[in-house]
Chains A and B, each alone.
Chain A
Amino acid sequence: GQQVMQIPQYQHVQEGEDFTTYCNSSTTLSNIQWYKQRPGGHPVFLIQLVKSGEVKKQKRLTFQFGEAKKNSSLHITATQTTDVGTYFCAARTFSGSARQLTFGSGTQLTVLP
């Protein structure tokens, strides 16, 4: 089955430092979504990337989709304590079935004040 690798598993940063999490797939993806889950909360949709090489920004968050559509990254500039949580990628293959929306294992971000 489709494998979605997400690294790192954990990341501790000092407030103000940057943070990046990476998602890699063994197969070409139709699209990729990113979600954020606060401690004790539920996953909340952040963004969806569809096009090869696509880059989208949301304030301090920058999302990239690789040229080969097999990898993606989420970069946070100048982290704040409100960024604490686990960031998941969710990758979808060209089969189109929701079953193929595979979540990565997540990167748990801790921001130290």
Chain B
Amino acid sequence: DAGVIQSPRHEVTEMGQEVTLRCKPISGHDYLFWYRQTMMRGLELLIYFNNNVPIDDSGMPEDRFSAKMPNASFSTLKIQPSEPRDSAVYFCASSLQVTDTQYFGPGTRLTVL
């Protein structure tokens, strides 16, 4: 299995631009999670999906952030407009059940100038 796939691995953009991060979970995993990691705040859960349906988005920082999962093999996290404080590493993870081990993707390192 290829594991969780994320793209791009690195993204540098200017403040105000739209950013879209992509994730392909492990095949057969029903749960998909988006995390953000920064030095100041550590690893934070932003949102998670079960069978493509968003279950809990209370970790999404503000309306500039949105996430979708149009099918079982693809999810996006969009930031519009981006701000410098959004600079972080964004991880996608998936699991079979909500209580199971979460398998993390390699992450997208986002830099907003």
CA distance A28 to B69 in the complex (A): 33
| With A33-B101, A43-B43, A48-B101 as contacts: A99 and B106 at CB distance below 8 Å | no
CA distance A44 to B55 in the complex (A): 24
Chain B count of residues within 8 A CB distance of the other chain: 22
| With A98-B33, A98-B45, A99-B48 as contacts: A44 and B104 at CB distance below 8 Å | yes
Verify A45–B99 contact, CB threshold 8 A. Answer: no
Q: What residue of chain A has the Cβ atom nearest to residue B6's Cβ? A: A42
| With A103-B43, A105-B42 as contacts: A98 and B98 at CB distance below 8 Å | yes
Q: Cβ of B73 < 8 Å from any Cβ of A?
A: no
CA distance A45 to B42 in the complex (A): 17
Chain A count of residues within 8 A CB distance of the other chain: 20
Q: Inside 8 A of A33's CB, which chain B residues have their CB?
A: 101
Please tell me which one of the listed residues A31, A43, A88, A99 contacts residue B45 in the complex, with CB atoms under 8 A apart: A99
Instruction: Please report whether the interface of chain A is mostly helix, strand, loop or mixed according to DSSP.
Output: mixed
Verify A45–B101 contact, CB threshold 8 A. Answer: yes
CA distance A88 to B104 in the complex (A): 13
CA distance A62 to B93 in the complex (A): 25
CA distance A76 to B63 in the complex (A): 43
Verify A43–B59 contact, CB threshold 8 A. Answer: no
Q: Cβ of A97 < 8 Å from any Cβ of B?
A: yes
Nearest Cβ on chain A to B8's Cβ, whole angstroms: 15
Q: Inside 8 A of B98's CB, which chain A residues have their CB?
A: 96-98
Verify A45–B45 contact, CB threshold 8 A. Answer: no
CA distance A43 to B45 in the complex (A): 13
List 7 A–B pairs whose Cβ atoms lie within 8 Å, in order of A's numbering.
A33-B101, A42-B105, A48-B101, A96-B99, A98-B31, A98-B45, A103-B44
- B residues contacting A by CB (< 8 A) are 31, 33, 42-45, 48, 55-56, 58-59, 91, 93, 98-99, 101-107
CB-CB nearest 6 A-B residue pairs? A42-B104, A103-B43, A45-B101, A99-B56, A98-B98, A105-B42
